Structures are given as structure tokens and as C-alpha cells.
């Protein structure tokens, strides 16, 4: 009979496991973000990845955008003109980028990050900036104002000339400069210069203005991030926290201020900022504009049809006749890596958002990264970090386990008290408390290790969730991405089994209902952990195994000490 029951339970468990796998296959897959509904209203007729020109993103007919600090009036930009030219796109390849520059206005309209794959099983590099039927995300820069060629009042958008259609950072070359040139009808030569460096996601964008006309030339430099409301293509589909998708602005008044699409729609920003920056964040990656140090800039946001425009405008740059001037800013298009962002601009590293427990998360990440440097595997690094955290809480856990072991040892006495005073709850309670006091037992001591570890658990969750280093980081065997859930739920099941084993080392609660609830806890936690990142479940599993070892040793020791003791 017992064998039949075991076989029956095993069969039900296997069927349940297969049903969960099937359900996950049908309803819990990563969203196909490249197939989202088209938000652009442009006239493109190409396929999904067909290049869409910036001027084709217009739908409202309005051309008003940023205002200059001098006039306060909105300036019509020329990016919505219908200019098209042959050989319109210039490609740039560095050791970390594949970029496309549109010779019309000279904007960055495409960037692939060659060190990051689009998805776990894809060798296609991740596209961050893009301008396709499914998503618009480009970085514009230009000269607007009185003589700015990017102002609609001065005609169509400028068409820049280049010496080549493609540029590449060669082996042994540390810097790459791409010059785009344009000469106005008045004889003002404008060189738009992109500067790249090896192993860097920073991009220098500069204008060299050589005024060979007979009059003073005047215009305002502007940098913009243009994004539609398409979903985050790198969003994580695990249960729990969603990464922020929206703009962040840093100023002296507020070093880190978030604006989601709703905020940008309701309240446009128009604020003078010096030594600040603005960025658009998605999970793991960002694009940012960083104005020159000590250069005042008017940070602004607006709408361009279905697109959100976020950027800044410098005060007017005046170039006297026969003179030349240089003006520009820096852009960052890449992963959210703290070390890199710290070197770009103050507070830009805060875009790696470790949540409200950042003061715990950041040290955990530093230690985790140090362990990774030693072993070269993030899964092993998580195990070593778990051992370290367990060591830190060793004595606290030992105190709790001793309390629980003593409660387990006096369980027969509790049973006897229940038989004697079960009908008198007040007397029963008095006798129990007297027993606990006599044996120096804290009934709540068993909860303490879990409560103490919860901040560490939550902090580690943020570390695993927010660290791009763990994106697609393999552990071993079937775990090929520690930032995603276990595809076969093996780790959560092992974690639940370890919780079940640990429960058998704990004393049985005297209250029958509480005892039933405690028996259900491993099952509840297993279901809860099914869609958690595998790295987090690995941490919890290793922590349980270490806890079981420590608790088993203490329990046996206490039981040996109390063996034969008469009450």
C-alpha cells in the first residue's frame, strides 16, 4: 500500500512538472519586441528591419521643437524635410560598435553593440539605436537658430559630404575620426566630427565652424534623443520588478530625476542646467547626452508626432567673419557598467539602479565581481558569495538554531502539557512560557535568520536583475543565463526540496493550523521561485544547503546534551 501511494504521488508530481513546463512554453515566453505594433506613422513600405528615415517619422505636420535660450521661441527643425540622397548612409565600425550615420543632418540612426547578443540563442548583435518599422530610437544633433542649417527657416536639412561611405577602427588604431562636411550658401564651412576610441562607448560630437563669409554667423548647438513608446527589447520577463523605461535627467538641483512616458506627455521640461546630463534608460542599456563642463544648456522635452524628443540647446555660438569656432558635446550609447559610467559624467553610474537597498547591493556586486575575477564563472561567484554571506551570519544563525533545537528537544514536554491543560488555554500558555523560560528558549528565535537575510536577498535580487554583466552569463549544464529563470525549473524544485528537509529539523508548532501552514511553505516557495532568475534561486539553494548542515550539527549536539535529562 505504501509503495502504491509513493508511486501515485511520484506520478502526480511528474505530471504537474510537465504541465508547468507546457504552460511556461505557451504563456511565459519572452515578448517578441521586434514585432510590436508600429508606432511610427511614416510612409515606409519595407520589411520589419527596413531603415526608416528620420524625416519619415512625422505625422502631425508640426515642425516646432526646442527653443533657444536667447529667444525662448520654439525653433522649427529641418529634420522633417523630404531630403533624400544617394549613398545616404555612412557606416562606422569600431571594436564595440557598428553605427550608421545619416548624411542628411548627420544623425546617428543605428547602433549595434557587437559585444552583446540580441538574445541568448542569437548571434545577432544587440541593436540599441534603431529606426525601423517596429521601433524608433535615434540620437540627433544639429545647429539651430539664426544661421543654423538645421533650422527649417534656413531651408532643407543639410546634406553632409564624406570622404568614404564606411569607416573602421583598424587593429592597432586607438582613435577614429569621421568628418562630415557642409558649406552654406554664404560660404560658411561646417564640419560635423564624430570621434570614437577603442574599447569605449563614448562618442564625441563636435562642430567645427569656419566662417569665410562677410558677416558674423550665429547658431545654437543642440543634442536630442528621439524615442517612440515601443517596449523595451531587453526587458526581462521574470516575475517581479520591471526595469525603468524612460528619461533620467541630472542637474545641480536633483542629481537623478526620472521621467516616464506619462510624465513626458503631461509636463514638458524646459530647464537651464550646467554640468548635468540626460539619458534614456532601458534594461541594462542607455543612451545619454553629456554637455560640455561648465557649459549652460537648456534641457527640454517635447513631442514630434508619436515620438518623444529629449535634449538640450546651448546658448548661441557666434563666429565672426573670417573666424572659426568649435562646439560640441559627448554621447554615450552602451551598457550600464558602473566603472565606465563613472568616467563619463558625475552620477551617470546611478543609472545602474540597485533599488532602495543600494547600500547593500553595491558592496554585494563589488564582492561578486571580485569573485568572478578569481573563478571566471558568475554561478561559481554566486556560490562563493553565498558562503561568505553565510559566514557573516554564522553566529546569528547558530543562536537561532540552538533555540529551535531546544524547542525540538522539549517537544515531548509540550505534548504532555497539551494533554494536561489542553482545555484551559490560559493555563496552557502559562505553563508553556514557564517551560520556555526555564530552558532559555526564544519561541521567535527561528524567524530571526530569515528576517536578517531578507535585505541581503532583496539586494542580491537587484544585483542580478540590474547587472548587465550577468546578462546571458552561463553557469553550467542547462543554466546558460543566470539572469533568467531556470528553463526546466530544476533549481526551484531542488530549492523546495532543501526547504522541506530543513523543515524537518525545526520543531513542530504546537498549533495544528500553524503546523499545516508550515508544511505548505516549501511548496509555496517553490512555486514562488519558479520564475525567479536562476542566479537568485542558486543563491537560495546553496544558502539552504549550508543552513541544513549547520542546523543539523547544532540539533544533534543539543539533543545529545539533553538526552536522558528528566523534567
- pTM value > 0.85: no
pLDDT tens sequence across 286-315: 999 999 999 999 999 888 888 899 999 999
Q: Where are the beta strands (DSSP E) in 103-216?
A: 107-117, 125-127, 130-131, 136-144, 166-168, 175-183, 188-197, 202-211
Angle of the 394-409 helix axis to the 411-421 helix axis, nearest 10: 50
Quick check: 40 pLDDT over 60? no
381, pLDDT greater than 60: yes
User: pLDDT tens digits, residue range 142-159?
Assistant: 998 888 898 888 888 899
Residues in the chain: 567
pLDDT at 199: 92
Q: Which three cell numbers stand for residue 325?
A: 569656432
Distance CA 555, CA 409 (A): 9
- pLDDT tens, 45-64? 333 333 343 334 443 333 44
Phi/psi-derived region of residue 485, left when phi > 0, alpha when psi is between -120 and 50, beta in every other case: beta
Q: Please count the CA atoms within 13 angstroms of the CA of 166 that sit on its side-chain side.
A: 6
User: CA–CA separation, 392 vs 449, rounded Å?
Assistant: 12
pLDDT at 382 over 70: yes
Share of the chain above pLDDT 70, in %: 78
Mean pLDDT of 395-418: 74
Amino acid at each position: 500500500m505504501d509503495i502504491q501511494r509513493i508511486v501515485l504521488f511520484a506520478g502526480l508530481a511528474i505530471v504537474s512538472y510537465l504541465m508547468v513546463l507546457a504552460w511556461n512554453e505557451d504563456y511565459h515566453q519572452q515578448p517578441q519586441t521586434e514585432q510590436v505594433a508600429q508606432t511610427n506613422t511614416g510612409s515606409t513600405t519595407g520589411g520589419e528591419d527596413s531603415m526608416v528615415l528620420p524625416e519619415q517619422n512625422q505625422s502631425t505636420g508640426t515642425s516646432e521643437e526646442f527653443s533657444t535660450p536667447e529667444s525662448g521661441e520654439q525653433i522649427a527643425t529641418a529634420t522633417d524635410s523630404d531630403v533624400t540622397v544617394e549613398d545616404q548612409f555612412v557606416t562606422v565600425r569600431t571594436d564595440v560598435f557598428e553605427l550608421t550615420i545619416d548624411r542628411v543632418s548627420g544623425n546617428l540612426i543605428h547602433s549595434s553593440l557587437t559585444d552583446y547578443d540580441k538574445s541568448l540563442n542569437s548571434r545577432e548583435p544587440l541593436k540599441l539605436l534603431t529606426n525601423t518599422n517596429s521601433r524608433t530610437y535615434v540620437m540627433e544633433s544639429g545647429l539651430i537658430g539664426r544661421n543654423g542649417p538645421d533650422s527649417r527657416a534656413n531651408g532643407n536639412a543639410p546634406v553632409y559630404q564624406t570622404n568614404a561611405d564606411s569607416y573602421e577602427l583598424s587593429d592597432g588604431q586607438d582613435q577614429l575620426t569621421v568628418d562630415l562636411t557642409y558649406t552654406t550658401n554664404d560660404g560658411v564651412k561646417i564640419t560635423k566630427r564624430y570621434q570614437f576610441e577603442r574599447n569605449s562607448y563614448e562618442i564625441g560630437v563636435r562642430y567645427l565652424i569656419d566662417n569665410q563669409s562677410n558677416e558674423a554667423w550665429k547658431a545654437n548647438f543642440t543634442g536630442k534623443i528621439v524615442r517612440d513608446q515601443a517596449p523595451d527589447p531587453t526587458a526581462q520577463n521574470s516575475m517581479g520588478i520591471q526595469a525603468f523605461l524612460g528619461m533620467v535627467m541630472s542637474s545641480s538641483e536633483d542629481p537623478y530625476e526620472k521621467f516616464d512616458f506619462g510624465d513626458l506627455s503631461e509636463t514638458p521640461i524646459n530647464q537651464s542646467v550646467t554640468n548635468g546630463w540626460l539619458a534614456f534608460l532601458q534594461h541594462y542599456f542607455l543612451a545619454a547626452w553629456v554637455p560640455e563642463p561648465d557649459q549652460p544648456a537648456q534641457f527640454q522635452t517635447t513631442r514630434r508626432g508619436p515620438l518623444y524628443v529629449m535634449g538640450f540647446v546651448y546658448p548661441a555660438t557666434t563666429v565672426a567673419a573670417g573666424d572659426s569656432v568649435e562646439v560640441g558635446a559627448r554621447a554615450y550609447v552602451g551598457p550600464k557598467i558602473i566603472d565606465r559610467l563613472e568616467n563619463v559624467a558625475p552620477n551617470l553610474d546611478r543609472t545602474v539602479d540597485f533599488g532602495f537597498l543600494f547600500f547593500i547591493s553595491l558592496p554585494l556586486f563589488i564582492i561578486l565581481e571580485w569573485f568572478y575575477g578569481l573563478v571566471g564563472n558568475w554561478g561559481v561567484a554566486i556560490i562563493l558569495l553565498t558562503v561568505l554571506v553565510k559566514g557573516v551570519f554564522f553566529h546569528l544563525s547558530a543562536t537561532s538554531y540552538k533555540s529551535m533545537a531546544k524547542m525540538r528537544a522539549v517537544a515531548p514536554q509540550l505534548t504532555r502539557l497539551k494533554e494536561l491543560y489542553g482545555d484551559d488555554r490560559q493555563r496552557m500558555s502559562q505553563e508553556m512560557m514557564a517551560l520556555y523560560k526555564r530552558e532559555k528558549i526564544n519561541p521567535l528565535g527561528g524567524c530571526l535568520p530569515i528576517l536578517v537575510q531578507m535585505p541581503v536577498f532583496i539586494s542580491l535580487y537587484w544585483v542580478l536583475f540590474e547587472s548587465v554583466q550577468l546578462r546571458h552569463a552561463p553557469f553550467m549544464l542547462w543554466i546558460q543565463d543566470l539572469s533568467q529563470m531556470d528553463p526546466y525549473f530544476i533549481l526551484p524544485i531542488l530549492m523546495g526540496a532543501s526547504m522541506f528537509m530543513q523543515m524537518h529539523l525545526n520543531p513542530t508548532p504546537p498549533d495544528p493550523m500553524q503546523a499545516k501552514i508550515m508544511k505548505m511553505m516549501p511548496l509555496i516557495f517553490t512555486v514562488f521561485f519558479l520564475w525567479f532568475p536562476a542566479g537568485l534561486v542558486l543563491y537560495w539553494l546553496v544558502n539552504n544547503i549550508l543552513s541544513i548542515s549547520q542546523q543539523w550539527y547544532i540539533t544533534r549536539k543539543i539533543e545529545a546534551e539533553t538526552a536522558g535529562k528528566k523534567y
